[in-house]
Structures are given as structure tokens and as C-alpha cells.
Amino acid sequence: MQVSESNQLKRVEILLRCEKQNHDNCSVMTHALMKNFKNILEANTTRTTINGNDYCVAGTALINENDIKKFKKDLKNVKSVNNVGVKNLELYISK
């Protein structure tokens, strides 16, 4: 299957911080990502700081270029089984 140039697949690196106060176990968010998004290849807990922002979950996805805005909106609204949401979100998109 050939992908048209206007709808190229992009590799998207995901960094998010959940709404929890204590980030010792944010696996509920990795499970929420894997359950709710079929195009996420992996999701892991992390303790990453970039540009002064702390993140507790990192992931990778393959997204059609035309769907990235919707994907980001959907990521911002995802909730875990115990109703934990996303506080901060960053996407890094391949060229």
C-alpha cells in the first residue's frame, strides 16, 4: 500500500505529565494510552525533564500527517481507569 505524499506517516514521540500529585507509579496512564489508541507503538513511565517541564509518561506512535491535530486533542482528553487525566503534553514529530 502506498501512502500519498499529502498524508505521510509520521513518527510521533509523546511526553506527558498526568494529573496525579505523586508520580511514583504512572502506569495507569501508559495503560490508558495503549488501550485507547491503536496507533501507539509503546508507552512507558519515565522521569524526564525537558526545558524545565517534568513528564511521567513517554510513548511513540505512527500517525498520518493529516491526523496529528486530532490525535493531540484526543491525547489531551484521555483518562485512565481511575479517572487520571493529562496535565501537560508535548509531541515531537518526525520530518
Structural domains of the chain, with CATH:
5-93 (3.30.70)
Check pLDDT > 90 for residue 94: yes
**Cα–Cα distance list, 11 to 23, 26, 29, 41, 68 (Å):** 26, 23, 20, 10, 10
* Model confidence, pTM: 0.87
- The span from the CA of 11 to the CA of 23, in Å, is 26
Q: Which pLDDT score, from 0 to 100, does residue 70 have?
A: 97
**pLDDT at position 29 over 60:** yes
The pLDDT, as a whole number, for residue 25 is 86
In this predicted structure, what is the pLDDT of residue 23?
82
